[in-house]
Structure 1
């Protein structure tokens, strides 16, 4: 019993670290001429193919489970995969990786808003204080004083990624617990890649890529290197660990642990891209992380009855939409 929370925290930290590599891998492709949409399609398309066989094997005799969760998988693919990644990859075209990720992680505040509206849980003092701190930190991260370049387009993309991240946290653990995590991850990424490809073929999204050398960590290398990193490290490992961890911890605790992704991303961007936010932006980032942490701590103090991880049995009298409130 005691090992399950520890395993959940370990999986959430693994997911945070591997997700944190995506901005650094993506930057090398974007600077080489790839559109953000093409990078996302390559990332999740390859990952979906890698996971296809394990997903099919896990579903033997459970095809009815897949059919009953088709809508949830589709929404996960649209919000948690396509929207979140396209917006984030576009944000890193204009902003440092760490700043873009800080904007994306404001999605955790949106999770709290959703839980409040969906379950009538009004914010308490810690939540209000944390939200104020996060908004104050946002002002410093955006550097409204004008000491660094301000890219409103990048900010809008970053905020769009926040909505996608909120969808990821809420949807990942709301699926039927009988649906294997590998099937959830593979199905969601396949949906995300297919939708982006279809929309791109209509001309509504730019789809362009180059297949020569790219610069990664200051060194010329093949375009296959960042693609492999994006698809295998930042997608296959990250989504499997994230979904599995969320089913143990629930959305509040898993997203709280997931804050480590911000720190990992700043460290990785510094090591491989020699990229650090300004001093004021780092201060603002600290406020955002502290504010979100206060919100998460406040949410964790709520009655245990409100936190029903997806892996727990559901009473026969429960309505199907309430099977799992939690999930990342």
Structure 2
């Protein structure tokens, strides 16, 4: 991979992480005003899809054949990468603590390493294993050691489904584009996901509620749609479009490890915008995650990490008494 392409991919991945990380600080006022998590994520997905729609149309410029050729990627991104992952996460947190659900979902990079191992029948190189250990250890420290606890096994299973969906997101994003621009995949996938989540909400399986009055955002009274628009544009539209572009360049494995920085970014924005404290353990955790990413990146030039290797493609806040907003990430 050319160094210029790698640099572009790393920049896109970091933009995605930072964008996702802003979501928690802006979703929190909606949740405190009476929005349910499912209502917030449905509204942000639909709004983000509509925001991206003009860019989708411009990128395609009438080349609808590209969208048709990529129909399975679009369906996979919308139904699995976004809607299924979101629904599984919110179903999980009805049974287990938020921190535990987040920890399990962000094990997605390990699932990708295991998938590559199973499909290629080659043990991951030492640097990948080292990076996995460092990254997961750092994730535990950033989210909080309290996430490691015995809880409802059904809730754990549902959270693991969310991890599978998160891994699928990176795999689908890293598939060969076949003429479909990343922004088109992001926009069409988000629109589809928003519609599906809205339909799920009508079943009553997940609580759906929203309020439409003024609310407080950083001690300023604003209309309800202000934080929603920020989350939709920055924390969703920009985040998904740049994340998909990054996965296409870097491969799903490296992109997924970089994606762990979302929890670090969310904690930093909670500190800067909401005044929430950062603990020494979180700083250590962030450093470990960076170390893990560096280890995986050092092995990134190996053939098994390339997007075309062995047929394996490398690819909202929830208030809780035990969950600081720093645990809120943009992908969920």
Q: What is the TM-score with the length of structure 2 in the denominator?
A: 0.77
Query: What's the offset of the Cα at 1:41?
Result: 1.1
Over 3 Å counting, the alpha-carbon distance change for 1:247 and 1:42 in structure 2 is same
CA shift, 1:187, in A, is 1.1
Relative to 1, partners in 2 of residues 1:233 and 1:194: Cα closer, same or farther, differing over 3 Å?
Answer: same
Q: How does 1:1-328 map to 2 (within 5 A)?
A: 2-86=3-87, 95=98, 104-133=105-134, 141-144=143-146, 161-276=162-277, 278-280=279-281, 282=282, 285-286=285-286, 289=289, 292-293=292-293, 296-297=296-297, 299-303=299-303, 306-308=305-307, 322=311, 325-327=313-315
Give the distance between the partners of 1:2 and 1:132, measured in 2 at CA: 27
1:283 CA drift (Å): 6.6
Shift in Å, 1:172: 0.6
Secondary structure at the counterpart of residue 8 of structure 2: helix
Closer, same or farther: CA 298–2 of 1 in aligned 2, 3 Å: closer
Aligned in 2, Cα 1:138/1:184: closer, same or farther, shift over 3 Å?
A: closer
TM superposition shift of 1:190: 1.2
Secondary structure (helix, strand or coil) at the match of 2:248 reads helix
CA distance 1:272–1:101, change in 2 (3 Å): farther
Change (3 A) 1:143 1:255: closer
The answer to whether the 8 A contact 1:43-1:230 is kept is yes
Displacement of 1:123 in angstroms is 2.7
Instruction: Name the CA shift for 1:102/1:27 in 2 (closer, same or farther; >3 Å).
Output: farther
TM superposition shift of 1:102: 5.7
CA apart distance, 1:185: 0.7
Give 1:128 deviation, angstroms: 3.6
CA separation of 1:36/1:72 partners in 2, compared to 1, >3 Å: closer, same or farther? Answer: same
Q: Does structure 2 conserve the Cα–Cα contact (< 8 Å) formed by 1:40 and 1:82?
A: no
> What's the C-alpha RMSD, in Å, of the aligned pairs?
3.6
Cα separation, 2, equivalents of 1:209 and 1:274: 26
SS at match of 1:300: coil
Structure 1 counterpart SS, 2:210: coil
How far off its partner does 1:159 sit? Answer: 5.5
Contact 1:132/1:291, CA 8 A, preserved across alignment: no
Name the CA distance, whole Å, in 2 between partners of 1:252 and 1:158.
Answer: 20
Partner of 2:327: none
Determine if contact 2:254/2:300 at 8 Å carries over to the other structure: yes
**CA positional deviation for 1:272:** 1.8
C-alpha separation in 1, matches of 2:134 and 2:235: 30
Higher mean Cα deviation, 76-85 or 231-240? 76-85
CA shift, 1:239, in A, is 1.6
- How many angstroms does 1:269 deviate by? 0.9
Q: For 2:174 and 2:168, locate their aligned partners in 1 and report how far apart those are by CA, in whole Å.
A: 11
Cα distance in 2, alignment partners of residues 300 and 114 from structure 1: 16
- Quick one: distance in 1 between partners of 2:104 and 2:274? 19
Task: Please report the TM-score for the alignment, with normalisation by the length of structure 1.
Answer: 0.78
Change (3 A) 1:260 1:203: closer
Residues 220, 119 of structure 1: CA spacing in aligned structure 2 closer, same or farther, 3 A cutoff?
farther
Q: Give the 3-state SS of the residue equivalent to 2:251 in structure 1.
A: helix
